[in-house]
Structures are given as structure tokens and as C-alpha cells.
Structure 1
Amino acid sequence: MKRIICSLLLLGALLFSFQISSAQEIKRKTVQGVWRLDSILYDNIKAYSTIKVFGDVDAACMINSVWTFYGNWDGKILSPMAEGCPTTPQTLVWSTGKAETGNYFGIKPLLAGQKGKQITQGFKMPIQSIDGKNMVWNETVNLNYKTSHITYFFTKTSKKAK
């Protein structure tokens, strides 16, 4: 009887682990196009805090920014024209991948004349959800020795990247 129970538990664990590892990887065509970053939600972060995202950009500058992802894994981010925000598009190399915890979105910002292969540092954002119209990223950050979460909400505005 103990052997049967142990066998069933082992089989159940094996099936459960197969289900988790068989999550579908995100296809390039799903991401390719033009997206607008509609909003950013801060969890466990004080309202008066100045939040810097993607290295050194004020999070407020990213609201309504336009993200273009080309089919060749290149892209660009254009911030809205607000005081104190970047005024030139940020070029980047993007990728998607699958980790034990789920799918992620990778971004490597490029300086003028740089190639993606030359950049070893970047950002990996766990993807909460993505479909043909919406994309949600989660980021865990440590601020003042507290774990906090930032959630990014995107809407696809065009399937064709110009």
C-alpha cells in the first residue's frame, strides 16, 4: 500500500513539473510592433519616492512612452516630450526567453554606434501576461532594504513597426 501511495505521489509530482516546464515560449511575432506604456503600478513604494527605471530614467517619463520592437530584435523607446525627460529615442536590442519562473522580456539599451553583442548588461523583466493587444511586465526591486514590485502595463497600438 505504501508503494502505491509513493508511486502516485511521485507520478503526480512528475506531471506537475512537466506542466510548469511546458509553458509556451513567447513568439517574436507576438511582441513585434508598436506598444504604448500606459501605466506603472507601484506596490510597497511610498507615493513621494522618485523611482528610476531601466537604469536612470524617471518612471514618470515612461508613462505614455512609445516602444517599437522590430522583427530583427532591434527596437527603440520614445519618451513623451515632458520637462526633464529624455528627448531622443533610446535604441535597444530586445529578446524573450523562458526561465524556471516563467517567461521574461530582455532589454539591452544601446549607445550610438554600439552593437547588441558588445553589451553585457541589460534588464530582464518577468512577463505576467501577453497577447496580441496587451502586455504586462513585473519587476522586483529593493528600495531602502524593502522588497517592492513595479508592474508595467502596455497596449499594442500597431502590429507594424515603422
Structure 2
Amino acid sequence: MKNKAYILILMVSLVLTSCGLSKENKDNRKTLDGTWKLTNIDYQNNEGYFKSILFNDVSAKCFRGSEWFFRSNNSTGYYNILDGGECSPGQRNIRWSIQDDANGTPNRFQFKFIDEKKNDISGGYGYVFQINSLSPQQMVISADASVGAETVTVVYQFTKIASLR
């Protein structure tokens, strides 16, 4: 009987430790806690003028200056479009995560839309970005987008304006 209990405890502890986030991932999640301002959107790997609708929501110019809030303890947050007019101002709720690569290094940021009760409203679809850099004051993420037969990298630059702590 003792052997069965020992094996059960060993298996439970193995499952709990293997399912946890890496220390670096937890640190990155805590770094994101707070309010950020989207200060710049840049298009790389292609030339020309781009008029884009981001996240199937509003144009890129509406996102400049938008506020983004992240809470790591429940992986929720929102972004708030501040400009009126054609920009459809208001808050959009999100659930977010940071994903590790095969080596356990956090390298991707993801978000999906949720409602006020934190239910998924995007049918399981979301947006995934490479984390180019993340510090307590700044974050740069990017994602590739197709423009005709070309690929353009959209780069988002954020500055932290308030921490949760």
C-alpha cells in the first residue's frame, strides 16, 4: 500500500512540474502586468504605403496611441481605441498568453477576443506575434502578413505607462 501511495505522489508531482510555465515565461508575464501604449506600427520587408485593418477591427492609424492592459494572474486584459471618428473608440477584451519555443524560451505572444464574462467570442481564433524584445519599459512584437504575393512584417512598439504593482 505504501508503494502505491509513493508512486501516486511521484506521478502527481511529475505532472505538476511538467505542466508549469518556465521561470522566464513567468517573469515575462509579470513584466507585461500593467498598462501599455502602442506608440508605433511599422511595416518591414516591403516598400510603399500600407492601409491596413488590424485584428479585423479598425485601421492601423486608430491603433496608434491605443492603451493595452495586461493582467498576468488570469491572462486577461483589453485594448482601448481612444480616437473617435472613423476609429470606433472603446474597449476590446482579450485573453492572452506567452508561448515557449521547443527549448522552453518564451518567444511568442498570443491573444484572442473575449466578452465581459471572459468567454471566447472569436471561435478559438486569435493572433500570434513574435516577441522581438520585452523589458519593464518597452515591448516590440511582430507578425507576418500577406500583401498580394509578398510578405510584410508588421512591427508593433509599446511603451509601458503604468504597472500593477
Cα distance per residue 1:79-138 (max 9 Å; x no partner)? 122321122200110111112596111110124555149841000111000010000001
Residue 143 of structure 1 corresponds to 147
Do 1:106 and 1:122's aligned partners in 2 also have CA atoms closer than 8 Å?
A: yes
Q: Distance in 2 between matches of 1:117 and 1:63?
A: 24
Deviation at 1:46, TM superposition (A): 2.1
Aligned residues: 139
The answer for the alignment partner of 1:95 in structure 2 is 97
Letter of the 1:41 counterpart? D
Identity of aligned residues (%): 27
Match of 1:8 in 2: none
Which amino acid in 2 is paired with 1:124? V
Partner of 2:8: none
Partner secondary structure for residue 89 of structure 1: strand
- CA gap of 1:78–1:152, structure 2 versus 1, over 3 A, is same
Does the 8 Å contact 2:98/2:110 carry over to 1?
yes
Q: TM-score by structure 1 length?
A: 0.76
Amino acid at match of 1:88: G
Q: For 2:85, what is the secondary structure of its paired residue?
A: coil
Distance 1:102 1:142 in 2: 25
Counterpart in the other structure of 1:132: 136
For 1:153, the equivalent position in structure 2 comes to 157
Aligned 1:50-69 pairs, distance under 5 A: 50-69=51-70
1:25 aligned onto 2:25: yes
Say what the alpha-carbon RMSD is for the aligned residues.
Answer: 2.5
Give unmatched runs, 5+ long, in structure 1.
Answer: 1-21
Which sections of structure 2, spanning at least 5 residues, go unmatched? 1-21
Paired residue secondary structure (1:25): helix
> In structure 2, do the counterparts of structure 1 residues 117 and 77 end up closer, same or farther at CA, with 3 Å as the change threshold?
closer
Residue 56 (structure 1) shift: 3.2
Corresponding letter in the other structure for 2:88 = P
Indicate how the Cα distance of structure 1 residues 36 and 121 shifts in structure 2: closer, same or farther if over 3 A, else same. Answer: same
Give CA deviations for 1:40-95 in whole Å, capped at 9, x if unaligned. Answer: 11121521x31111123211110000001113211011112232112220011011
Deviations 1:18-43 (A, max 9, x none): xxxx9x43632111100000001112
Does the CA contact (< 8 Å) of 1:106 and 1:125 recur in 2? Answer: yes
Contact 2:109 2:129 in 1 (8 A): yes
* 3-state SS in 2 of match to 1:39: strand
- Normalising to structure 2: TM-score of the pair? 0.75
